[in-house]
Structure 1
Amino acid sequence: MASDSSVGNDTDDYEETSFSLFELPVLVPVTTICIVLFFFGVAGNVAVILIFRRYKEMRTTVNMYLSSMAMSDALIFLGLPSDLYRIWKYRPYIFGNFLCKFIVYLSETCTYSTIAHITTLSLERYFAICFPLKVKATITKSRVKGVILLIWLFSSLTAVPILFLFGVEHPNGTLPEETNECSYLRKAASSGLLETMAWLSTLYFFLPVFCLVLVYGLICRKLWKTARHLEGQCAATREKCHQQTIKMLAVIVVAFVLCWLPLHVGRILFAQGNVVLYEISQYFNLISMMLFYLGASVNPVLYNVMSQKHRKAVCKFLHRGPLLPPRHFSRSGRTHARKTNMAGVSSLGNFVLQLSQTSMTTLFLS
């Protein structure tokens, strides 16, 4: 979960009296940013899923992975309200033991799932580009569905230990209704489960990153070699399509690494239990929490910026709606109304696209 390490033991009188880990000047801007990310992330990822389901031309094997990953990213945001509550007031936790465990488990499962989707999709592109004659027979839609199912199943199973690590408990000698915390269980942590899960999460991140670097290196070498031997318009068009896909996936991977690396570094620091680094790690984990949710919301913007096909699908999706005029309109009246409505919606679509591109530029320049 994004802010697993943002809930911990008391360190000073301020925490004892307010049960908050941060002061108000820190909490307000962080909360505002997270709320914006929540709405953009949920809306963007749901739009990706709807576009995939609505248009047959978008139902490629690549988009099957992307729509499943959008589902994972959208589910990640179910944990954001709980994270915000815990940074404002981590005691008492009022939502119960089941919800505490379930939200942390769901977040961990979706985190693993997103990482596995990016890795599997990159491997699929590697085979499609380096072994084009075999790809049609081996990479089919039915097999991709099976792979996606296995990704979700494997992610769900590997996140199961989280259910035993997290829960609601209170310090001995205190009233539960005043000091209940949704955090790691002290008994489970002392058994080594906390450190084990921290390292498992780290392997889940760094091994795929190593795999991605290797795969994209091989892909770039293949494209560089074949670029010198292209013959015919079809071959040039195919290579151009491959290059566009690779560029989009590479940007997604870079954004994934930049947004999720601080989360895993923070988990390692937290698992070490160094009291000296406690205050520093709390602010570090606050930043990593925001980057974590940024990573879950930025992919739809990247699709929009990097993929012309996706932009066309978004425009087509925005143009759909109650555009048909009443039946008593004349033929010329219907034509005029349709043109007027299409122009208005087209302006709205262009505005949304420009806003997305501007947001993406801001993200990379900030």
Structure 2
Amino acid sequence: MERTPETFQPTSIPIDVIRDISNVTKSMLVFLYSVIITVSLVGNSLVFLTFICNRHMRSIVNVFIVSLAISDFTVTITCMPINLGNILTKYWIFGAFSCKLVPFIDNLTVSSSSLTLCCIAFDRYYAIVHPLKANAVKTPKRAAILLLIVWIIALVSSIPYSFCFELFEVCIDPKGCPKHKAHRTAHFCRGQDRSQIDQLQIWLTMVVLFIIPFVFMTVTYSVICYTLWSKRPIGSSFGQSEDVQTRYKKKAVKMLILVVLLFVGCWSPLIIFEVVAKETELLASDKSLTSKYYLQWLALSSACVNPIIFAFMNEKFRKNFNKILCCRRNQIDPLPKRTTQPINLTLMDTGNNSNPDSQRVKSESVMKESTQV
């Protein structure tokens, strides 16, 4: 049965249909996205290759860093290109499946990243605040279980997002769109009108996967900083150089501050913007739409800054990066000689501690362990 050429008018035309960003803004976003995509692909690939090719880099904290790199790499090859394409074309041209897949992967990677950052904070807490207990608590088996829990939580919390988004066909002709003339319509990937239960689920996800991790990291790193700056480091009473202590402190504190600032700085502006936009008419102007696109870029840029803070600032990672980039795989450092036994013997020695060399080894070894990432 043939359908009559009826004309339909959408009840509400999406704000994107009647507004668009300038060509200058589009060009700038293309450049910015190209930068973070390139840096993220190269940086996260180097992190993964360094971990695979070097046995001595397979520490527990580096396992968490690799998990973070995998998450960042995934969002780089999926969400970033599609997000940029949607900005440039104005409409959704990637099909119904991608409309559900992209929000799912986006939330999955962000959730896993935030929880993995908590794991790193937990690891650093024991390494610095309780260095003598760290070896008993930080085991490969526990790290694997912790990572499995992280990805399960992220996966479960992301499933509802694939059901919240649908592909909508809307009329873009002010005069109306006959149903048999599809060229006058366009597709948009948008969230459905959510019920109170859906809204509650979104807020619970935000609290559990963003606010609580942020509070946890803030408290954890505050305790770590207090331990580094206020308390006398282990072994400092045995004549350790003040310059050595200061160097270790500065290195650790820089790392900790950057972890918190980058996590908050990349994601909080977009989260606040989205929450305010849902309750107000914030997106009613061209400038606000431009701001939204830049904030989306800022949030996604966390995928390229994470390799910088966790890898490029680490001397061992940087050294192996250079060797991989220069195609000198055969020159990668072999597994280093074990030094655990002499250090443990020194720490457990209950006899005469008058040997200054032994005391110096003990103090510097513990301090290095407590501040090294």
TM range, normalised to the smaller chain?
A: 0.7 to 0.9
The one-character-per-residue Cα deviations of 1:227-260 (angstroms, maximum 9, x if unpaired) are 3852458999899667634532431221121111
Residue 209 of structure 2 aligns with an amino acid whose one-letter code is: Y
CA distance in 2 between partners of 1:24 and 1:168 (Å):
26
**What displacement does 1:29 show?**
0.9
Contact 1:263 1:288 in 2 (8 A): yes
Distance 1:152 1:85, change over 3 A: same
Contact 1:305 1:311 in 2 (8 A): yes
Which structure has the greater CA radius of gyration? 2
Contact 1:198 1:267 in 2 (8 A): no
Residue 282 of structure 1 aligns with an amino acid whose one-letter code is: L
Contact 2:13 2:170 in 1 (8 A): no
**What displacement does 1:167 show?**
1.8
**What displacement does 1:316 show?**
2.9
The one-character-per-residue Cα deviations of 1:147-204 (angstroms, maximum 9, x if unpaired) are 1111111101011110111121224885566322111123xx2556257425632552
**Could you tell me which residue of structure 2 aligns to residue 257 of structure 1?**
264
Asked whether 1:248 is paired with 2:255, we answer: yes
Alignment of 1:15-164 (within 5 A): 15-16=17-18, 21-77=20-76, 78-91=78-91, 93-164=92-163
SS in 2 for 1:181: strand
TM-score (norm 2): 0.73
Residue 85 of structure 2 aligns with an amino acid whose one-letter code is: Y
SS in 1 for 2:219: helix
Distance 1:320 1:201, change over 3 A: same
Contact 1:165 1:194 in 2 (8 A): no
Contact 1:21 1:88 in 2 (8 A): no
Distance 1:9 1:203, change over 3 A: farther
Alignment of 1:167-178 (within 5 A): 167-171=166-170, 178=185
Residue 308 of structure 1 aligns with an amino acid whose one-letter code is: E
**Could you tell me which residue of structure 2 aligns to residue 216 of structure 1?**
221
Distance 1:239 1:137, change over 3 A: farther
Distance 1:31 1:39, change over 3 A: same
Distance 1:287 1:322, change over 3 A: closer
Contact 1:169 1:185 in 2 (8 A): no
TM-score (norm 1): 0.75
Runs of 4+ in 1 over 6 A off after TM superposition: 233-240
Residue 145 of structure 2 aligns with an amino acid whose one-letter code is: G
Asked whether 1:311 is paired with 2:337, we answer: no
Give the structure with the higher percent helix. 1
**What displacement does 1:271 show?**
2.5
**Could you tell me which residue of structure 2 aligns to residue 320 of structure 1?**
327
Residue 317 of structure 2 aligns with an amino acid whose one-letter code is: H
Task: Select 2:309's aligned residue among 302, 319, 342.
Answer: 302
Indicate the structure whose relative CO is greater, using CA pairs within 8 Å and at least 6 residues apart. Answer: 2
Residue 295 of structure 1 aligns with an amino acid whose one-letter code is: S
Moved more, 110-119 or 308-317: 308-317
In structure 1, list runs of 5 or more residues that go unmatched. Answer: 1-7, 325-366
Distance 1:190 1:86, change over 3 A: farther
Asked whether 1:293 is paired with 2:297, we answer: no
CA distance in 2 between partners of 1:9 and 1:227 (Å):
63
CA distance in 2 between partners of 1:205 and 1:304 (Å):
23
Residue 300 of structure 1 aligns with an amino acid whose one-letter code is: P
Q: How many residues align?
A: 308
CA distance in 1 between partners of 2:86 and 2:200 (Å):
22
The one-character-per-residue Cα deviations of 1:9-49 (angstroms, maximum 9, x if unpaired) are 5348xx34xxx631212111111211221111111111111
CA distance in 1 between partners of 2:309 and 2:301 (Å):
12
CA distance in 2 between partners of 1:257 and 1:147 (Å):
23
**RMSD of equivalent CA atoms:** 3.0
In structure 2, list runs of 5 or more residues that go unmatched. Answer: 1-11, 332-373
**Could you tell me which residue of structure 2 aligns to residue 180 of structure 1?**
187
The one-character-per-residue Cα deviations of 1:42-83 (angstroms, maximum 9, x if unpaired) are 111111111111111111111111111011111111101111
